[in-house]
A = this chain, B = another copy of it.
């Protein structure tokens, strides 16, 4: 039977052998205890073998029909295979998975070998009235891969891992990439020929090209490379009514963008099978810089100023005072320079510059590309930093960030094992609006945590920056309320969402909508949402595709 050994293990992030252990990080543990009170005893997740999974609702005829087109070894109806394809990686998913109680379990996992298989299996699904959920790396944090049956009697999940071709058109600097290709596979194939996609979300190791396109993802270097919707130039999607292949051209003026209707469709219109994406030469030079800024307003001003004077760092991370304090207090056992410089240096900065230690913000910049352009951008950043009274910290904080860039999601598993709620959410705003939105959402989360009666913490950073505005990314933590974990979290999420909408943000900057951010009307209004629904009704008239998501 087919297995997917590239996706995260059951009920956790990534691979257990790579997971950092909280026990090895006393300063982090100390910080958490200080913020949240004593943590709970370690409670491991229920192993996948012990999860109670309802039997597959497929009839024998349906199973046989799937096997007929997909192949005997490419239809998995085992409990474990079905369970692992039935939850994403949101806090809610993890609660459910760790507890071993899945409300929605897919009825079969099929592994198409290519686009033709996808189309053929879709036809079987249509014939037998089966709902279809496309599955890339399964790292959705908005419920995108949860198998909801909608009006249908069963669900089939398409695991796309074998649609993993990467072909480079070096002349056009385009790569044709299969939907199921994972981040490391893509970069390996490209770097061998001297290229990079430059798209490295935090989920990079365990997420796929198709997933990025389906959710309008952003990599950590999006400030230079663009979000996936800027990187992708054409796309192919198998819908229940047939294939759409958008034209493979650099730009066009032939009506509303068909490409941009498919990007972000989250599996609700069809199965994205591949796309062509802009690649770039591997950077000649990479260079980090980091600064302390006296407060959040200065940090925002600094970022805005840089972007608006045509400095486009690949990485820009601007931590608010709370996140800066977290970074300074929790890094020591990693020998992070942030930590090593932290105590003494911060004290000196505070004394000499008169910074308020409670207000200091850390800013990390990473430049990459042509050596001369990197030099110029770094110099400009230094000049601008001086104007904002920033204190230079050299390259080490950036290197330290880079080393740890993919490990943070592992920490959540450790924290949840110790009965800590931890989740993130993100939005974006124009520069004129970013400070107001920042404060409103932070206060909403903070108030909701306190209303819940627990201690907690909320921190934020800016990590995707534009000449016209920026993203805002929040992390919040609290002691779990035993037996009330989901409502506790939901209350906070609802409060944050309301604040985002009321203050001119967007429901999502790069995680997508799934079902956690519904209803979409709140973002687009009823009429535009209606238009999106009509798009779905046209391409997927039987509403087979990823029911109850997005629309």
A residues contacting B by CB (< 8 A) are: 169, 171-174, 215-218, 227, 229, 233, 239, 241-258, 260-266, 269, 278, 280-281, 304, 308-310, 369-370, 372-373, 376, 428-433, 464, 466-471, 504-513, 517, 520, 523-525, 527-528, 530-535, 537-539, 550-551
Contact = CB atoms under 8 A, between A and B. Distances in A.
Contact of A528 (B171, B244, B432, B509): B244
Contacts of A466: 250-251
A535 B261 CA distance: 11
A538 B532 CA distance: 9
Contacts of A171: 304, 430-432
Contacts of A217: 253
Nearest to A512: B253
A180 B479 CA distance: 56
A126 to B, nearest CB: 15
Contact of A256 (B369, B471, B535): B535
29 contacts: A171-B430, A172-B431, A173-B468, A174-B430, A215-B253, A239-B527, A245-B525, A247-B504, A247-B524, A248-B430, A248-B504, A249-B506, A250-B428, A251-B464, A251-B506, A252-B523, A253-B506, A253-B509, A254-B508, A255-B513, A256-B262, A256-B264, A256-B532, A257-B257, A257-B264, A278-B468, A280-B467, A527-B539, A534-B535
Contacts of A505: 249
B471 A251 contact: yes
A265 B255 contact: yes
A539 B215 CA distance: 25
A251 B263 CA distance: 13
A269 B369 CA distance: 42
Contact of A216 (B172, B253, B504): B253
Contact of A242 (B258, B260, B429, B527): B527
A537 B531 CA distance: 9
A257 B254 contact: no
A261 B261 contact: yes
A257 B260 contact: yes
B506 A247 contact: yes
A317 to B, nearest CB: 16
A218 B251 CA distance: 10
A310 B369 contact: yes
B551 A244 contact: no
B172 A527 contact: no
B265 A256 contact: yes
A369 to B, nearest CB: 6
A517 B509 CA distance: 36
Contacts of A524: 244, 246-247, 254-255, 258
Contacts of A172: 430-433, 468-469
A509 B251 contact: yes
A398 B445 CA distance: 56
A530 B369 CA distance: 42
Contacts of A531: 244, 258, 261, 535, 538-539
